[in-house]
Structure 1
Amino acid sequence: MGWVYLAIAIVSEVIGTLALKASNGFSHSVASTVCIVAYCIAFYFLSLVVKTVPVGVAYAVWSGAGIVLITSIAALWFKQIPDLAALIGIALIIAGVVVINVFSKSMSH
């Protein structure tokens, strides 16, 4: 269940971040409420994840997936198109998450 909980945490964090943008500095009450609730859900499920998944792996996947999803959604919705340097950086983040998950022995329970 750890990986299912991690997916829920990631999606919640992405929703929270999008709502944070829409809240306009917490000046819009609905978006602000969505932001706070989504982040609470994200951290709750992340707390469940780290019971069974090593914290380094969980955080690497959580933050890496969040970065990729937010960047992709921001490009589509907000027309915030990443430049080549940003794309290379994102590719390196993804590569780092893969290396941690596939090759690192220090990240096991």
Structure 2
Amino acid sequence: MAIITEITGSVSLKASEGFSKLYPSLSAIFSFIICFYFFSLAMKYLPLGLSYATWAGLGLVLSTILSVVIFKESLNSIGIISIIFITIGIVLLNTIGTSR
């Protein structure tokens, strides 16, 4: 839930155009409040490093994908390779990382 609401907040923040549009602005604010609540719950059971790396990494990857799909932003080959490396890092950290 923390990752989903973080992505919702990020997309809403972009759509708010600098908090100049009411509904996307409200969506961004409430999404981030909910996001941090669920993120705090996850950190009760998971180490900070693992939690933050997963939350930030997946948030970055999914936000980038949504920025291309929704806002028609471009993504070059270096961006694609970087996203692949981030995804590999998240998988490795969650499966065989020593942060647990």
Q: TM-score of the superposition, structure 1-length normalised?
A: 0.87
Q: What letter corresponds to residue 59 of structure 1 in structure 2? A: Y
- 1:1-109 pair list within 5 angstroms: 8-105=1-98, 107-108=99-100
Q: What letter corresponds to residue 37 of structure 2 in structure 1? A: Y
- For residues 32-60 of structure 1, what are the alpha-carbon distances to aligned partners after superposition, in whole Å with 9 as ceiling and x for unaligned? 11100000000000000000011111111
Q: In structure 2, the residue corresponding to 1:10 is in which secondary structure?
A: helix
**Count of aligned pairs between the two proteins:** 100
How far residue 81 of structure 1 moved from its aligned partner, in angstroms, is 2.5
**Unaligned stretches of 5+ in structure 2?**
none
* 1:3 aligned partner: none
How far residue 93 of structure 1 moved from its aligned partner, in angstroms, is 0.8
Percent identical across equivalent pairs? 38
Q: TM-score of the superposition, structure 2-length normalised?
A: 0.94
**Unaligned stretches of 5+ in structure 1?**
1-7
Distance in 1 (alpha carbons) for counterparts of 2:7 and 2:76: 21
- For residues 15-35 of structure 1, what are the alpha-carbon distances to aligned partners after superposition, in whole Å with 9 as ceiling and x for unaligned? 000110111101111111110
